[in-house]
Chain A
Amino acid sequence: MDNKDDILVKIRGMSFGYAGRQIFDNVDLDIRRGQITAIMGPSGTGKTTLLRLIGGQLKPTAGTIEVDGLNVPTLSHRELYKLRKRMGMLFQSGALLSDLNVYENVAFPLREHTDLPEPMLRDLVLMKLNAVGLRGARGLMPSELSGGMARRVALARAIALDPTMIMYDEPFTGQDPISMGVLVKLIDDLNKALGISSIIVSHDVAETASIADYVYLVSGGKVVEHGTPDTLGHSGSEWTRQFLDGLPDGPVPFHYPASDYREDLLSGGES
């Protein structure tokens, strides 16, 4: 299982900065085929940015991002779009097209990229919708869906073209326990049943750790630690402990960097 082809996404020495802010600094990261890889870290550490970098929507300032042997930042427009047909992405908001109903949303990538006859297209769409349990909701408009349902429709749409990998951007954020459970099960099922490699970006530790095969902890633009959920659970690092157990203070201070509290109060607003 350790041969080179086993790695689907290979990131080496990747740095990325935006508007004078360094977001990633020399990051190395591997995503293995057929596995669920979780990328976890505090909010604002650019986890979503990482997905956009893999998807080629952003270009790194240094380093390589190889997906299936292709270096994403150097691909031409055409090659990039060809590669993207094999990637699915689940946005935090679902990103459903608001002027199309559920059925048409799932049919959208199929209509754009294939010339399937209508009956076959219909079967495919209903299969995908059935997989996420929303076959009955096909006539609803996106505005009529709850957040969890919207994400499931988006998931059905993401698997419409049978991609090799799916990237999940914060799939569990803001979900009630039931829809969270549904999503956890769906992601796990899709991975096991269809062999789709999955990347989950999240800070919901428990849910993510329950299905992930491998976890990267990212903070301050660097990979802090990586390993299977089990090994990380027994990590000696203070930072890892603080993050996984959700402690309010620790290596990550409670306070945003500021000048001395006493001086600040006494300065009387002359800053």
Chain B
Amino acid sequence: MYSKVTELWVGIFVAAAVAALFMLAMQVSNLSLAGSDEGYTVTARFDDVAGLNVRAPVRLAGVRIGRITSIEVDSTRFQAVVKMHIQSPYDNLPEDTTAAILTEGLLGAKYIGLDPGGSLENLGEGSEIIITQSSISLEKLIGQLFVNLTGGSD
């Protein structure tokens, strides 16, 4: 039978769902950061981006300041072109900032770490980061280590 209690419960139900949606938006997903449509996009070329994903964080001094929006291949230079979106409060990065692909912990996810330089000019929309350092491939490192070790024993 229809009653005020029914209405009340349906109201609570809907409110709970709205609260859940709010939590998914603000606490769980990046919508809270996405107010950062303001900001600018810069590109960087890497020889090797193995393990790096779209949406991986861009960090400055370990603090997240943006994210990777796309990873493509430049078919003339055979390099990976990474586009990253940097949020607007950080629009004073020097032009000679360097980018490196780093790993969280020994085997964790890859991210891009920025290291500011000393130029007076700043990076802006569409600028390119010239100096980059590719992923450190653990396999290659170990391989080289073996070569060095065996070479040394001769």
Direct contact of A and B (CB under 8 A): yes
Taking the nearest CB of chain B, how far is it from the CB of A139, in angstroms? 11
Q: Give chain B's interface residue range (CB within 8 Å of chain A).
A: under 10
Q: Give the distance in Å from the alpha carbon of A101 to the alpha carbon of B1 in the complex.
A: 9
The number of inter-chain residue pairs (CB within 8 angstroms) is 3
Q: Give the distance in Å from the alpha carbon of A99 to the alpha carbon of B2 in the complex.
A: 11
State how many residues of chain A have any CB contact under 8 Å with chain B: 3
Taking the nearest CB of chain B, how far is it from the CB of A55, in angstroms? 29
Chain A residue numbers with a CB within 8 Å of B1 are 99-101
A 87-102 contacts with B by CB, 8 A:
99-101
The A interface is mostly helix, strand or loop, or mixed, namely: loop
CB closest residue in chain B, given A104: B1
Chain B residue numbers with a CB within 8 Å of A99 are 1
Q: Give the distance in Å from the alpha carbon of A100 to the alpha carbon of B1 in the complex.
A: 7
Q: Give the distance in Å from the alpha carbon of A99 to the alpha carbon of B1 in the complex.
A: 8
Chain B residue numbers with a CB within 8 Å of A101 are 1
Q: Give the distance in Å from the alpha carbon of A4 to the alpha carbon of B1 in the complex.
A: 48
Taking the nearest CB of chain B, how far is it from the CB of A99, in angstroms? 8
Q: Give the distance in Å from the alpha carbon of A74 to the alpha carbon of B1 in the complex.
A: 38
Chain B residue numbers with a CB within 8 Å of A100 are 1
CB closest residue in chain B, given A100: B1
Taking the nearest CB of chain B, how far is it from the CB of A78, in angstroms? 28
CB closest residue in chain B, given A99: B1
A 106-128 contacts with B by CB, 8 A:
none
Q: Give the distance in Å from the alpha carbon of A101 to the alpha carbon of B2 in the complex.
A: 12
Taking the nearest CB of chain A, how far is it from the CB of B103, in angstroms? 62
B 1-37 contacts with A by CB, 8 A:
1
Taking the nearest CB of chain B, how far is it from the CB of A214, in angstroms? 44
Taking the nearest CB of chain A, how far is it from the CB of B83, in angstroms? 59
Taking the nearest CB of chain A, how far is it from the CB of B1, in angstroms? 8
Taking the nearest CB of chain B, how far is it from the CB of A173, in angstroms? 31
Q: Give the distance in Å from the alpha carbon of A99 to the alpha carbon of B6 in the complex.
A: 15
Taking the nearest CB of chain B, how far is it from the CB of A98, in angstroms? 12
Taking the nearest CB of chain B, how far is it from the CB of A106, in angstroms? 15
Taking the nearest CB of chain A, how far is it from the CB of B44, in angstroms? 66
Taking the nearest CB of chain A, how far is it from the CB of B151, in angstroms? 87
Taking the nearest CB of chain A, how far is it from the CB of B135, in angstroms? 65
Taking the nearest CB of chain B, how far is it from the CB of A104, in angstroms? 8
Taking the nearest CB of chain A, how far is it from the CB of B38, in angstroms? 54
Taking the nearest CB of chain A, how far is it from the CB of B127, in angstroms? 67
Q: Give the distance in Å from the alpha carbon of A76 to the alpha carbon of B1 in the complex.
A: 34
Taking the nearest CB of chain B, how far is it from the CB of A257, in angstroms? 52
Q: Give the distance in Å from the alpha carbon of A28 to the alpha carbon of B103 in the complex.
A: 90
Q: Give the distance in Å from the alpha carbon of A162 to the alpha carbon of B134 in the complex.
A: 87
CB closest residue in chain B, given A101: B1
CB closest residue in chain B, given A141: B1
A 56-108 contacts with B by CB, 8 A:
99-101
Taking the nearest CB of chain B, how far is it from the CB of A36, in angstroms? 37
Taking the nearest CB of chain B, how far is it from the CB of A118, in angstroms? 14
Q: Give the distance in Å from the alpha carbon of A246 to the alpha carbon of B1 in the complex.
A: 47
Taking the nearest CB of chain A, how far is it from the CB of B81, in angstroms? 63
Task: Point out residues on A near B: beta carbons under 8 Å.
Answer: 99-101
A-B pairs with beta carbons under 8 Å apart, 3 shown: A99-B1, A100-B1, A101-B1
In the A-B complex, the 3 residue pairs with the closest CB atoms: A99-B1, A100-B1, A101-B1
